[in-house]
Structure 1
Amino acid sequence: MHAVTIQSFGPPDGLVPTELPEPVAAPGQVLVDVEAIGVGGVDAVIRRGTIARPGLEPGYVPGSEVAGRVVAVGDDRDAGWLGRRVWAFTGVGGAYAERVVAETGDLTPLDDGFDAVDAVAVGSAAPVARFALAHAHLA
């Protein structure tokens, strides 16, 4: 499976296409075949090395949101997701890949006509913008 990993923190040339094993959905998770990946400001901050925490080391796969189709489920109770298009939050990383796992509680169904790029553009950016406007006290 193709993914993009951070091999060195700093400028964008530290991002490297990498072959990784395909992830496997555990109980309560699904495997998503990715159509589009959200790229946000926090991804750039992480890539630059501005944020330091355990797990942020060379080989880290950045990104936290994707749009795509569920191709596998971790257990029978989640079988209703199989074949559905979704927007998925992947947590603190892992989204810059062809396939990703996500918790079923972090999925939003997408209509087949809803563009995947549009889904990741509004997926987490819209709530952040709404939060900022609500707290900016603009009139």
Structure 2
Amino acid sequence: MKAMLCHAYGPPSALRPGELPDPVPGPGEVLLRVEACGVNFPDLLLIEGRYQQKPPLPFAPGGEVSGRVAALGEGVDGFRPGDRVAALMTHGGFAEAVALPAEAVVPVPEGVAPEVAAAVCLAYGTALHALRDRGALQPGETLLVLGAAGGTGLAAVQLGRLMGARVIAAAGSAARLEACRAEGADALLDYNAPDWRDQLKALTGGRGADVVFDPVGGAYTEPALRGTAWRGRYLVVGFAAGEIPRPPLNLALLKGCAITGVFFGEFARRERAAYRALLADLFGWIAEGKLRPHVSRTLPLERAPEALEALAARQATGKLVLLTHAAAPAR
């Protein structure tokens, strides 16, 4: 089968089209004919050799797929060939097919486009797990989203609004902030401005944000932590800025706030029933029209390096998705 392969750790430009053996589902596995694959920051870390897991070379990156069930391994119940599904894994999605444990596969309602389904599991799953399970975001509270125009950030903006919060979107350019406004952000904050912490204080009436969603890290973390409200919840989601911050912990003491880790992949592995229920909620909201994942661009599989380079340069708004079985032209 066709795949985009990493033969040696390096930049996205090192990915090359190639062939892998056709996967065969083993006991308890589902063979998925991949129609679309989301492009995510962990894919970059994986091909650069900076991820906590290092699959044997060569491998296909890609950890978020949608498609149809092609075959079932021994002992699999609950799925039939032809079923629409989505799945989250570590790698293997930049390919035409993948075999996965059945417990990692979730149903997708008919009518949800493949590129939309491929945008849900990681970004929207992470955002909902963070805001609802880890941050206990309540209606009427103020949510600050850092990196708000990225895939996970924009998901947090949309879900924060759906959950009844007042959402302050923080990003690094006027165009990216306008994309956040279009998705429902109540207030905008350019965190490249030298006085952005003062702006945050003004936007919250001096009170601070009840919940901070931080997938960025780096130099943005300490000012955002200082801008957290009394008994606030600071959600550590990731480090897209490339630096793991070391904020002074006396800030957590003085504010009586919680600094809470969000590791969605481990949650999905350890708490399968809760993970599947969370994704069922997301796909249910999408089918009902309450949630519309923002897929800004789709590209054919062979243009995976271009998609990853846009992600690395922080030029992508919302989600980038690769199409394998050519359901639509690149746009």
Q: TM-score range by the shorter chain?
A: 0.7 to 0.9
Deviation at 1:46, TM superposition (A): 1.3
What is the identity, as a one-letter code, of the residue corresponding to 2:85?
Answer: V
1:33-85 superposed Cα distances (whole Å, 9 cap, x missing partner): 11101211000111222236553x43022111210000100025437332101
- Give the structure with the larger helix fraction: 2
Aligned to 2:92: 94
Higher relative contact order (CA 8 A, sep 6+): 1
Aligned to 1:112: 110
Q: Distance in 1 between matches of 2:19 and 2:52?
A: 25
With the length of structure 2 as denominator, give the TM-score of the two structures: 0.38
Aligned to 1:39: 39
Aligned to 2:257: none
- SS state of the match for residue 78, structure 1? coil
Change (3 A) 1:79 1:126: closer
1:67-117 superposed Cα distances (whole Å, 9 cap, x missing partner): 00001000254373321010022x321111101111111111112211111
Report the count of equivalent residues.
137
Deviation at 1:131, TM superposition (A): 4.2
Q: Distance in 2 between matches of 1:75 and 1:25?
A: 8
Aligned to 1:48: 48
Change (3 A) 1:14 1:126: same
The runs of 5 or more residues in structure 2 that have no matched partner are 136-143, 145-210, 213-228, 230-331
What is the identity, as a one-letter code, of the residue corresponding to 1:114?
Answer: V
Aligned to 1:84: 83
Q: Distance in 2 between matches of 1:15 and 1:26?
A: 28
Change (3 A) 1:62 1:113: same
Deviates more, 1:45-54 or 1:128-137: 128-137
Q: Is the 8 A contact 2:25 2:73 kept in 1?
A: yes
With the length of structure 1 as denominator, give the TM-score of the two structures: 0.86
* 1:23 partnered with 2:23: yes
- SS state of the match for residue 81, structure 1? coil
Q: Distance in 2 between matches of 1:52 and 1:7?
A: 18
Deviates more, 1:20-29 or 1:58-67: 58-67
Change (3 A) 1:41 1:4: same
Identity, in percent, stands at: 37
Change (3 A) 1:6 1:82: same
Matches within 5 A, 1:5-20: 5-20=5-20
What is the identity, as a one-letter code, of the residue corresponding to 1:103?
Answer: P
What is the identity, as a one-letter code, of the residue corresponding to 1:129?
Answer: A
Q: Distance in 2 between matches of 1:127 and 1:80?
A: 22
Deviation at 1:10, TM superposition (A): 1.7
Q: Is the 8 A contact 1:73 1:79 kept in 2?
A: no
What is the identity, as a one-letter code, of the residue corresponding to 1:49?
Answer: G
Change (3 A) 1:75 1:130: same
Q: Distance in 1 between matches of 2:52 and 2:126?
A: 22
